[in-house]
Amino acid sequence: MMKDFQIQLVGVSKVYHANGLPVRALDGIALTVNAGEFAVLAGPSGSGKSTILHLIGALDRPTEGKVFIEGDDLYARSREGLAAFRLNKIGFVFQAYNLIPVLTARENVEYPLLLQRIEKKERLRRSEELLLHVGLKAQMSKRPGEMSGGQQQRVAVARALATKPQVVLADEPTANLDSHTGSALIDLFRELNDQYKVTFLFASHDAMVISRAHRVIHLKDGRVEGEEIQ
């Protein structure tokens, strides 16, 4: 991983429209996330956590301000450039897992590697290694509907790491899990952060997740209220 991989939001605002009325989801956010951090965006629903992840992950554009990745303006890129950025630099872990139901666990993990045009032998090696690492040796050939929520989330984690991203964005990753499974998932994230030095940025209002982060960025009403190092 490049040591200087840094994410910067400078004066970022995001305005949506609901029923014809403007809704300000973010209001002049200034935020820097450095390489290798294990950080959480904490705050109640509607505080802007998911919106920040979407802007960093090139899933949405800011209304005002700039998002810089490695010093470059992310949204100065073409549509194709943004798609390549999402595929090669970012790993996503969504609350709803977003697995492809007709594919096995191994095939789900392989899918982004197929998009990267990685040869079959390497796709198999990487997907099996990651599924073993997340404790799913016996579930490799199962489809999502044959697995528990915790197992599906682990497949999503393996898929997020398959492309060797520089940052993993996780939106409420424990929301659909019981406390034991959720704690085990965060243990796994910490281990992967230590082993692969991948930056992890969560959006969560789960007290357990917040307590386990190295850095907590508190949001309220679309603004950074403060932060703490743990």
Where is 131: in which H helix or E strand? Answer: helix 120-133
Instruction: Tell the residue number behind the tokens 């990267």, with chain if given.
Output: 116
pLDDT value at 3 more than 70: no
**What confidence tens digit (pLDDT) does each residue in 36-63 have?**
999 999 999 889 999 999 999 999 999 9
Which residue, among 223, 226, 225, has the nearest Cα to 14 in the 3D structure? 223
Report yes or no: 203 and 52 within 8 Å, Cβ to Cβ: yes
Calculate mean pLDDT across residues 210-215.
Answer: 95
The helix-helix angle for 149-162 and 120-133 (nearest 10°) equals 130
Which DSSP letter does residue 138 get? Answer: G
Calculate mean pLDDT across residues 189-211.
Answer: 90
pLDDT value at 174 more than 50: yes
Calculate mean pLDDT across residues 138-150.
Answer: 95
* CA triple 174-44-227, angle to 5 deg: 90
Report yes or no: 169 and 93 within 8 Å, Cβ to Cβ: yes
Domain annotation for the chain: domains and CATH numbers: 7-229 (3.40.50.300)
> What Rg value do the Cα atoms of the chain yield, rounded?
17
pLDDT value at 2 more than 50: no
Integer Cα distance of 190 and 198 in angstroms: 10
Integer Cα distance of 22 and 31 in angstroms: 24
pTM for the model: 0.90
Range with the poorest average pLDDT among 51-65, 179-193, 209-223: 179-193
